[in-house]
Amino acid sequence: MKTNVSMNLARVGVLALAAAIAGCSGAANSMPAAQSASASLPGASVAVKPAGMYSCAYASDEHFNSKYDIPAGSWLVFTSVFRVPPGQAAPLRFDVSNSYITFTANNQTYKIQAPGSRISLHQQSAAHLNWAKGSQHGIWWLMVPYGTMEKNGADFMDQVAWQVPQPGLHGSDFQGNNAVTWHASLSSGKYANEQIQWQWGAAVYSQLDNFPANYNNLGVKPVDDPNYSNGNADPAGTPELNKQYLTDGGTNQGPQNDYIGGAEQNHVTNVSPCGKV
């Protein structure tokens, strides 16, 4: 009997220690919240960080084109893509969580939550991208061949569509140093600390058919490489079923320049998924 009690106490001690470590991990990587009113899209939410992992937090800034107003009722489609530096060994798996965009306009700060994703690059013959609806409104799943990283191609990382509220967004709000910031945390269990090159952009669409709430209705392109998706040269993240509605604004630098807001020409942020505790 004493032996059983001692074993139970030992188990409690281990669980308490694990909880303490997890709490420290979360506190060390907490992300700042928006300071004023927020606006988020129903059907988009933060992915849950896998238990027992650190999650390294990063942020990346871009600027909207101040020449273009973005009308209320149109859609801003924010798209993240990534590359793996040449010479890095396959395979690669990582999770994107606590993913959200912040910016200031109309004298308030907007916070747009993104679904986050689970990325797997390994040896297989086809590319698969799917948005799966779950208890926290869903998550992106990408499974693609490691060969999609060849020829300096990019793969999909995360995407969120946000309908612009009244009174719309004025280009004048984005002059000077008023940046738009994408925040994201990365974690990996088995292939931690591999370097990833992260880029993102925001394109404006006058409408999105059959949306919200299912992102699969957009027909999002998983990778640049036409051999693995759609057979065209559109960039990863293009909403293929709605690209006819692309209009001016966001991070596009010219009239209707790019289906993902020029993400692959925007600045590169080097990030590394953290490993297990």
Same-domain pairing of 91 and 222: yes
Q: How far is CA 39 from CA 34, 114, 200, in A?
A: 10, 12, 20
75 located within any domain: yes
Q: Dihedrals φ, ψ of 22, to 5°?
A: -60, -40
Of all residues in the chain, what percent carry a pLDDT higher than 70? 78
102 located within any domain: yes
Q: Is the dihedral of CA 144, 129, 77, 187 positive or negative?
A: negative
Taking 60 as the threshold, does the pLDDT of residue 39 lie above it?
no
Same-domain pairing of 151 and 17: no
277 located within any domain: no
What are 88-129's pLDDT values in tens digits? Answer: 777 889 999 999 999 999 999 999 999 999 999 988 788 999
Same-domain pairing of 146 and 263: yes
Give this prediction's pTM.
Answer: 0.80
Same-domain pairing of 71 and 180: yes
* Res 258: pLDDT: 93
Same-domain pairing of 9 and 73: no
276 located within any domain: no
Q: Which residues contact 127 (CB under 8 A, 6 or more apart)?
A: 142, 143, 144, 145, 148, 222, 223, 225, 228, 229
Q: How many domains does one find in the chain?
A: 2
Tokens 């009997």 belong to residue: 1
Confidence class for position 46, pLDDT limits 50, 70, 90:
very low
Same-domain pairing of 189 and 223: yes
* Res 53: pLDDT: 52
Q: Which residues contact 7 (CB under 8 A, 6 or more apart)?
A: none
143 located within any domain: yes
What are 198-250's pLDDT values in tens digits? Answer: 999 999 999 999 998 899 999 999 999 998 887 899 999 999 999 999 999 99
- CA dist., res. 195 & res. 266, Å (int): 18
What are 4-37's pLDDT values in tens digits? Answer: 434 343 333 433 333 333 333 333 333 333 333 3
Q: b/e per residue, 207-220, with b = 16+ CB within 10 A?
A: ebeebeeebebbeb
The predicted model gives 185-207 an average pLDDT of 91
The whole domain housing 20 covers 1-30
Same-domain pairing of 129 and 195: yes
Same-domain pairing of 126 and 155: yes
Same-domain pairing of 141 and 218: yes
Same-domain pairing of 9 and 144: no
